[in-house]
A and B are shown apart, each in its own frame.
Chain A
Amino acid sequence: MFPVLTLLEYAAAVILTLWGALGAIRNRPAGRGLLGFAAFVLLLLLVQLVVGIAAFGGHSGTDPLLFFGYVATAIVLMPLAGVWAFAELSRWGPLVLMAAGITVFVMVVRMDQIWQ
């Protein structure tokens, strides 16, 4: 896709996963830092959406429905996980964000494969 943005997305998904796991292991609810970071992951995905739309014109060979389907699904997933983690005052909040981090990572891998 776009090397810098893609690398940022991978790094953010990994950090979200580890941060979530750490919170769950330490038996703490998701704090402001973790929730803020989840919002940052969402922001990256929104940037991905905008950049994707902007760059799609001069691009052939990529199925738009498939590519933007993944982007849109990830964009739907993150706020759901974030709201859940915000409302959940137990270790399961960070765990939900960890699951979201793993999912976003896999989805970015797929986006990268689809975008050729």
Chain B
Amino acid sequence: MAVSYSAMHSGLGRGLTAVYGIFALAATARAGYEFASKFDQAPLAYSLSLFSALVYIVATVCFVLGTRTSHRIAIGACLVEFVGVIVVGALSLIRPDLFPDSTVWSAFGIGYGFIPVILPLVGLWWLRRVGRAAQAASPAQV
């Protein structure tokens, strides 16, 4: 059973894990800089940077672990990430006054080549595939 969920980080999952890892690193560095140097200027935006960094870290760790539990947490992380990108992306356009400075998720991740909005969708698709294969391998484990 454990073997089938380890497919999370095999094949295409390797690439996904790498991209999540890069985003975890980049977002953490960004949030660290923003908190250290200018938190007062845009507290909401910088808090969201930190939040996105945490989501990317959780997703990366879950992909690396590749267990049944981490599969579930990873689905949650991808959903939070997708909702976050949509809500923050929309808010940053509708209420720019809330965001004196941009976040990783501003304008649907335009500063990062829109990868932030594509990544959770690819992640969810991949996790569903892995989950189905794992369930087919051992139907008793739901």
Contact = CB atoms under 8 A, between A and B. Distances in A.
Contacts of A72: 29
Contact of B36 (A65, A77, A90, A100): A65
Interface in A43-101: 63, 65-66, 69-70, 72-73, 76-77, 80-81, 84, 88, 90, 92, 95-96, 99-100
Interface of B, helix, strand, loop or mixed by DSSP: helix
Interface string B10-23: 01001100110110
Contact of A80 (B11, B21, B32, B37): B21
Contacts of B37: 63, 65-66
Given A65-B33, A66-B33, A69-B33, A96 B14 contact: yes
B18 A76 contact: no
A99 B36 CA distance: 28
Given A69-B33, A77-B25, 12 more contacts: A63-B37, A65-B36, A69-B32, A77-B22, A80-B25, A88-B14, A92-B15, A92-B18, A95-B14, A96-B14, A99-B15, A103-B26
B18 A73 contact: no
Chain B contact-residue range equals 10 to 19
A73 B25 contact: yes
A86 to B, nearest CB: 14
Interface of A, helix, strand, loop or mixed by DSSP: helix
A73 B29 contact: yes
B2 to A, nearest CB: 21
Contact of B18 (A63, A69, A70, A84): A84
Nearest to A107: B26
A72 B25 CA distance: 11
A96 B12 CA distance: 11
Contacts of B19: 99
Contacts of B15: 92, 95-96, 99
Contacts of A88: 14
A98 B119 CA distance: 17
Nearest to A100: B22
Given A63-B37, A66-B37, A69-B32, A96 B25 contact: no
B114 to A, nearest CB: 13
